[in-house]
A and B are shown apart, each in its own frame.
Chain A
Amino acid sequence: MHITKDMISHVAALARLRFSPQEEEKYGEQLSSILDYIDMLQQVPTQPGEELVQGVSQINVWREDIPTGESVRQKIVEAFTDREGDLLKVQAVFEDRGKEEIL
């Protein structure tokens, strides 16, 4: 399957990645050649419903929700890249959108 430059920029936007025009070309060629190889899967007769998507057969695995103290929570907070004390700083989610888009 041939991956066009437009498809690369669409997928890059979905994946939150940026590429230069040269990189778009390189990734386009490499993905096209990998997908050409992968196309062999279409030769295998399969039935809908026989997908194998997980490694184990257990379902609904439950456990008690036991409080384990604050130490791990605090360390996770400390790993945050930008914060003031315990407040985690993130840029505004809606800031850059037009009024119509929000409505």
Chain B
Amino acid sequence: MNTQTIQELSASLEAKEVSSEDLVKASLKMIEEKNSTLHAFLEVFDDALAQAKEIDRRRAQGEALHPLAGIPIALKDNILVQGKMASAGSHMLENYRASYDATVTRRLKESGLVIMGRTNMDEFAMGSSTENSHYGPTKNPWDDTRVPGGSSGGSAAAVASGMVPLALGSDTGGSVRQPASLCGVCGLKPTYGRVSRLGLMALASSLDQIGPFAHRVEDLAWLMQVIEGQDPLDATSSVLEETSVSSLISPDIKGLRLGVPKEYFVDGMDTDVTQKVKEAIAVLERAGAEVSEVSLPHTSYALAAYYLIMPAEASSNLGRYDGLRYGHLLQDGTLIGTYEQSRTEGFGDEVKRRIMLGTFALSAGYYDAYYKKATQVRAKIKQDFDEVFQRVDAIVCPTSPCVAWKLGEKMEDPLAMYLSDIYTLSANLATIPALSIPCGFAHDLPVGLQFMARPFDESTLYRLGMTYQSLTDWHTQTP
């Protein structure tokens, strides 16, 4: 299943050489073999085989199905599937069952993809290693003493280990791209507004986007066609022109202008990672891209701006977890006491840290100096990108400054953990699309190459990624 492209799998299903039931059984077998070690899935849905059989039945009756019908997919535990548990990796929502389908879930169901289960994540998507899950960490498929990255570490590990060919995660500051990089798979953060956020548990609403994982860029593009598009129930989703995946069949990057931001190659970066990224850029140059150095002068302020804006929005969004409407309830003498008890027991350490930071940044006397200042710096960061995209068509850089680190290594030092997102969070602040693809190994662990493009220009990311993957075979290597 994992040596084939999604298009090949689709053709095999269409030709009835293989059934959806076969694919789901193969997926279940891999989960059975590997999940006890990796802990990528929190739950495998008991109706996965039934979903597959239903698709096979419809196909047997001659119904015209979507090309992706019958293909297994995993969802991050913060994306709602009606009637199924959705815990966001938190004790707070341990017994919560989703009341409705997320828009992406509805679209997957309408297209006939088989939803296999829910994958592990940092609690409420707060983290870069999946160690903040209340249900225990996920391990990296390349070395199970190391983290898979985060916060969508379960989805990245599930695809990398061959449990499923496709998965969805969410990316607020790098939570799809960074684990994709650390696990050696492809991950896309779409332009803000391309994918509906309805039914994605909110972390920071001006930054959050749902994004796909797969082994190949072409597969990401196929999955994006299913999940993207305007949604009346998310006012920030955008009306899109139809993107044609078939136009990407023989991608060409001759004359494409690629910018390499000088601020992204600085001291403190793993030199072996830098080396791999530079080799990848040379491959693209040989394929006809025009590479030049560009500058994003406010880069060094992005992490500081992000770590005010994200916790501020999160502290507001997580106000809904009061123990009453859903989730973890601990009665205390008074209503305020009940709120405090439920939240103090229900939330983990990192979630409380960010709620505290965000509440502080929004509190009287500090709002202007912290939150408002950060939003002004965010505007500067976006201007940097606007200016660079007048001169180049895309940016190329590392996804993560390092490879997967040892479990526990950064747990006591929040700032060191936050620094692992330094190359990814600018794209969220600037609302632009960004893609991570595997580009080799350093210290025997996967290295990720990142592309960023103008808002709604995902097709340039696909062209770059597919061209690179047609010239290299890093994406075919498995743990």
Contact = CB atoms under 8 A, between A and B. Distances in A.
A44 B193 CA distance: 28
Interface size class of B (residues with CB under 8 A): 35 or more
Given A37-B415, A41-B377, A90 B335 contact: yes
A5 to B, nearest CB: 13
Nearest to A78: B99
A44 B377 contact: yes
B325 interface: yes
A75 B100 contact: yes
B326 A31 contact: no
A52 B379 contact: yes
B206 A55 contact: yes
Given A72-B99, A91-B335, A80 B353 contact: no
A34 B375 CA distance: 18
A41 B308 CA distance: 10
Contacts of A38: 304, 307-308, 370, 374
B208 to A, nearest CB: 9
Contact of A92 (B97, B335, B414): B335
A31 B356 contact: yes
Contact of A56 (B305, B335, B355, B431): B431
Given A16-B339, A51-B379, A80 B415 contact: no
A53 to B, nearest CB: 5
Interface string B299-311: 0110111011000
A34 B414 contact: yes
B360 interface: yes
Contacts of B380: 44, 46, 50
Contacts of B240: none
B377 A56 contact: no
Interface size class of A (residues with CB under 8 A): 35 or more
Nearest to A63: B232
B236 A56 contact: yes
Contact of A58 (B238, B326, B335, B344): B238
A82 B329 contact: yes
Interface in B337-378: 338-341, 343-344, 347, 352-353, 355-357, 359-360, 363, 369-370, 372-378
A18 B377 CA distance: 33
Contacts, number: 161
B414 A30 contact: yes
A44 B379 contact: no
B301 A15 contact: no
B359 A50 contact: no
B178 to A, nearest CB: 19
B207 interface: yes
Interface string A46-66: 111011111110100101100
A22 interface: no
> Which of A15, A31, A40, A46 lies at the interface centre, i.e. has the most chain B CB atoms within 10 A of its CB?
A15
A50 to B, nearest CB: 5
A16 B336 contact: yes
Interface in A1-59: 3, 7-8, 10-12, 14-19, 27, 30-31, 33-35, 37-44, 46-48, 50-56, 58
Interface string B308-339: 10000001000000111111010101111011
A27 B350 CA distance: 10
A34 B97 contact: no
Contact of A93 (B236, B335, B353, B374): B335
A86 interface: no
B353 A27 contact: yes
> Which of A55, A63, A80 lies at the interface centre, i.e. has the most chain B CB atoms within 10 A of its CB?
A55
Contacts of B304: 37-41
A79 interface: yes
B206 A51 contact: no
A65 B357 CA distance: 37
Interface in B368-424: 369-370, 372-380, 382, 414-415
Nearest to A42: B373
Interface of B: 82, 96-97, 99-100, 192-193, 206-207, 232-233, 235-236, 238, 298, 300-301, 303-305, 307-308, 315, 322-327, 329, 331, 333-336, 338-341, 343-344, 347, 352-353, 355-357, 359-360, 363, 369-370, 372-380, 382, 414-415, 429, 431
Interface of A: 3, 7-8, 10-12, 14-19, 27, 30-31, 33-35, 37-44, 46-48, 50-56, 58, 61, 63-64, 72, 75-76, 78-82, 88, 90-93, 95-96
Given A42-B373, A53-B375, A75-B100, 5 more contacts: A17-B356, A48-B376, A61-B235, A76-B99, A81-B324
What 10 pairs between A and B have smallest CB-CB spacing? Answer: A46-B376, A55-B192, A75-B99, A61-B235, A51-B375, A52-B379, A81-B329, A63-B232, A91-B335, A15-B359
14 contacts: A10-B363, A17-B352, A30-B414, A33-B415, A37-B303, A41-B301, A44-B376, A46-B373, A53-B206, A56-B431, A79-B97, A79-B99, A79-B325, A96-B335
